[in-house]
Amino acid sequence: MELRDSVGIITGASSGIGWAAARRLSEAGAKLVVTARRREILDQLLGELSAEGVAVAGDIADPALPQQLIDAAVGRFGRLDFVFSNAGIMNIGTVDEIDDAAMTTMIRVNCEAAVRLAYAALRVFKPQGRGDLITTSSILGLKVRPGVAVYAGTKYAIEAMSESLRMELAGTGVRVMVIEPGYTATELQSHWTDEQKVPLKAMRRPVQPDDIARAVQFMLEQPDHVVIPRLLMLPMEQTL
């Protein structure tokens, strides 16, 4: 894909990977619709974009939001070329300590919302014979460890959905991909307890959001006869 003058949607754009991806892809010339819950942060992001952008504030778990994002892209720019489905939360804990409501919310955000956005986008991409969908998965969508059962389950679901959709749409001009970050320096773990953060402290140089953003750009810019179904990016010190 030639990113200059392309049009894309980025979810979870108010911090971390989403913010970095918006800045990098905008520098490459992409026009963007960015979304997250915090309107004031999205407005700040728009001020830092190199190309034209639109902010749509909302809760990614709202079933109406995917179509609102697509309508914003097509209404403002007349087209939609890619979606980076990046919004997610990470609640972890053992059977004895994790909160049931937090797990349910995580399933809605990481899985249900990602499914709704994927299918809404693909119903645009398939008739037009082109379009890229990249969803943020995780190393924990490939491997598990104790205490991350539900989070890993949501990411395994993303992996399975994306691979099946890639196969279904092979040959249509539509590419379905996932990016699988390891430990990345974002707000994702900001609410963890000190004990939960212990495994992370051994990694002195985590992956940075812009590292992931650069990989997303690489995936999008591949020639149209090439697809990168999965891209795993880890800190050098990560053993999981």
167 is written with which tokens? 């196969």
Integer Cα distance of 83 and 62 in angstroms: 17
**Do residues 26 and 52 lie in contact, with contact meaning Cβ atoms separated by under 8 Å?**
no
Within 8 A by CB and 6+ apart from 102, the residues are 91
Catalytic residue among 119, 151, 156, 183: 151
Our answer to whether residue 183 is catalytic in this structure is no
User: 55: which strand partners?
Assistant: 34
157 is written with which tokens? 């679901």
State whether residue 124 is helix, strand or coil. Answer: helix
The CA radius of gyration of the chain, in Å to the nearest whole number, is 17
State whether residue 37 is helix, strand or coil. Answer: coil
- Secondary structure letter of residue 62 according to DSSP: S
The backbone torsions φ and ψ at residue 50, rounded to the nearest 5 degrees and listed phi first, read -80, -35
What are the start-end ranges of the H helices in the chain? 16-27, 39-48, 65-77, 100-107, 113-128, 149-169, 194-201, 209-220
- Of 84, 167, 67, nearest to 131 by C-alpha is 84
State whether residue 93 is helix, strand or coil. Answer: coil
Cα distance from N-terminal residue to C-terminal residue, the chain:
33
The residues annotated as belonging to the active site are 151
